[in-house]
Structure 1
Amino acid sequence: MRKLDIISDAICPWCWIGKRNLDAALELLAADGLRFEIRWRPFQLNPEMPAEGVARAEYRAQKFGSESRGRELDGNVAQAGRAVGLDFRHELMLRTPNTVAAHRVIRMAEASGLQHAVVEALFRGYFQEGRDVGDAATLAKLAGGAGMDAAAVAGMLAGEAHRAEVLAEDMAARRGGISGVPSFLMDRHLLFSGAMPAERMADAFRQADTILSERASAA
């Protein structure tokens, strides 16, 4: 079974859209007998973000030049989300968090096979419910709802577990040329970045699987 790595950030709206399209693409591929081991890998859109995060309106105005420009971009995201059945509630999103803690939880979830469910819970919590996914208690509750042991998650976040690994993977992605997310890699080969439609995504995965199989046969 090939490994499919998705490099993403917990506060990247296109990553949630990309996940929805990925889920649909995986259903198409499963019908062809193609299945993958899915792994979520960290990337910080805002690596300089203070640990406590910042007010979202303030951050967006600073980043994009004005609050109105930020609202315009939010509108574009909301429209793209509706096209794939996702409801973005930007009016509920009051803070832009530092996402290192969220990535630590996602990394912890890998051992129990719950990464995919936890990633969905964090996306939904932030984009649809306006939850602060930089807050440890919030993260523990969301992860618990996705099947993890909430107390174990809280205990992990109280220490330093997974922090160094998350920061190292984030840096490795940047050094490897990743500058936008979501980015998709098959068996460590970068395929594409962006939330392309499910059918195109499935085609890209099929082609990559074929090429990698042919390379292995010729080796």
Structure 2
Amino acid sequence: MRTLDILSDAICPWCWIGKRNLETALAGLAAEGLRFKVRWRPYQLNPDMPEEGVERAVYRAAKFGSAERGRELDARVAEAGRAAGLEFRHDLMQRTPNSVAAHRVVRMAAEQGLQDPVLEALFRGYFQEGRDVGDKVTLVELAAAAGMDGIAVARMLEGDSYREAVLNEDMAARSGGINGVPAFLMDRHLLFSGAMPPEQMADAFRQADAILSARSAAA
């Protein structure tokens, strides 16, 4: 079984859309007998973000030049989200968080086979409920609701567990030329970046699987 590594960030709207499109693509491929092991890998959209985060309106006005431009981009995301069956509530989002703590929780969840539900809880918490996924208490609540031991998560966040691993993976991705997410890799080969529609994702995975199989047979 081949491995799909997806680099993503819990505060990236296109990563949530990409996750939903991925689920649709993989369901179709599974019906064809093609299955993959999925792993979610860390990438910071804002590696220089203060640990406490910043007010979202201020941050986006500075990043995109004006609050109006930020709203235009939010509207584009919301439209793409609806096409994927997702509702974005940008009106509820007050802060742009630092996402290192969220990545640490997702990394811990991987050891328990809970990456998918935990990441889904983070996406939904941030983009639908307007919760601050940089806040440790919020992260504990969301992780616990997704099946993790809340006390263990809180204890982990109070220390430095997984921090170095997350930061090293993030830096390795940047050094490898990845500058946007979601980014999809099959058996460590970069396939594409972006929230591609499900049908195109499935085609890319089929083709990559066939190419890698042919290489293995020729080796």
TM over 0.5: yes
Q: Counterpart in 2 of 1:90?
A: 90
1:12 corresponds to 2:12: yes
Q: Deviations over 1:142-193 (max 9, x none)?
A: 0111111111111100000000000000000000000010000000000000
Give me the identity figure in percent.
74
- Taking structure 1 as the reference length, what is the TM-score of the superposition? 0.99
Stretch of structure 1 that moved more, 185-194 or 143-152: 143-152
**Cα deviation, residue 7, structure 1:** 0.2
Which amino acid in 1 is paired with 2:107?
R
Q: Report deviation, 1:206.
A: 0.7
User: Residues 115-126 of structure 1 correspond to what in structure 2 (within 5 A)?
Assistant: 115-126=115-126
Q: Quick one: distance in 2 between partners of 1:200 and 1:145?
A: 33
For residues 6 and 14 of structure 1, what CA distance do their matches in structure 2 show? 12
The secondary structure found in structure 2 opposite 1:29 is helix
1:127 aligns with 2:145: no
How many residues get paired?
219
Could you say what secondary structure the match of 2:44 adopts?
coil
Alignment of 1:1-219 (within 5 A): 1-219=1-219
TM-score by length of 2: 0.99
Q: Give the Å deviation of 1:117.
A: 1.0
Q: CA deviation at 1:37?
A: 0.8
Separation (CA, whole Å) in 1 of partners of 2:37 and 2:85: 25
Over the aligned positions, Cα root-mean-square deviation in angstroms equals 0.5
Task: State the SS of the aligned residue for 2:151.
Answer: helix
Partner SS for 2:70: helix
Measured after TM superposition, the shift of residue 84 of structure 1 is: 1.0
What is the letter of the counterpart of residue 140 of structure 2?
Answer: A
SS in 2 for 1:3: strand
Aligned residue type for 1:89: R
Runs of 4+ in 1 over 6 A off after TM superposition: none
Partner Cα distance (1:143, 1:81) in 2? 23
Q: Secondary structure at the match of 1:85?
A: coil
Alpha-carbon deviation of 1:10? 0.6
Distance 1:5 1:87 in 2: 25
Structure 2 distance, partners of 1:36, 1:142, is 26
Unaligned 5+ segments in structure 1 are none
**Structure 2 counterpart of 1:165, which letter?**
A
Give the match's secondary structure for 1:104.
Answer: helix
Q: Report the secondary structure of 2:74's partner residue.
A: helix
Q: Helix, strand or coil for the counterpart of 1:141?
A: helix
